[in-house]
Amino acid sequence: MPDNGSITIKLDEHTARQLAERAREEGVTPEQYAAELVADAVSVDIDDVPPGLIVPEEELRASLAEQMRQLETGEAQLYTHEEVMAEMRTKIDAAKARKA
């Protein structure tokens, strides 16, 4: 990377349009918007737990007990990994088809 901090990237057409649209909404150039996104992304400390993700143990235990109760009474249903992945693939394929 050059000393001035500039980089060149290639974006697909759809992503470039989205970037331009969001930059317009923010009132900045696409380059400024992209620079802000990159700065935000690299400033994240992946070892920090985002706020709201730490659940007290008693709350976690109560939630698990409620989930087990719902499974036992038939209010909730378990799905296999394969079922979940098949559903997600269907949704991803549908989203890709809409983008094309």
Q: How many CA atoms, within 13 angstroms, populate the side-chain half-sphere of residue 37? A: 12
Contact 70, 76 (CB under 8 A): yes
pLDDT over 90 for what percent of the chain?
Answer: 73
- What whole-number distance in Å separates Cα of residue 4 and Cα of residue 6? 6
The reply to whether 94 and 69 lie within a common domain is yes
28 located within any domain: yes
Q: What pLDDT does residue 99 have?
A: 84
Q: What pLDDT does residue 2 have?
A: 54
- Kindly report the pTM of this predicted structure: 0.46
Low-confidence ranges of the chain (pLDDT < 50): 1
1 located within any domain: no
The reply to whether 40 and 77 lie within a common domain is no
88 located within any domain: yes
Range of the domain at 92: 54-100
Q: What pLDDT does residue 3 have?
A: 65
Residue 21: both structure tokens together: 């649209």
The reply to whether 58 and 84 lie within a common domain is yes
Q: What pLDDT does residue 16 have?
A: 94
Q: What pLDDT does residue 43 have?
A: 85
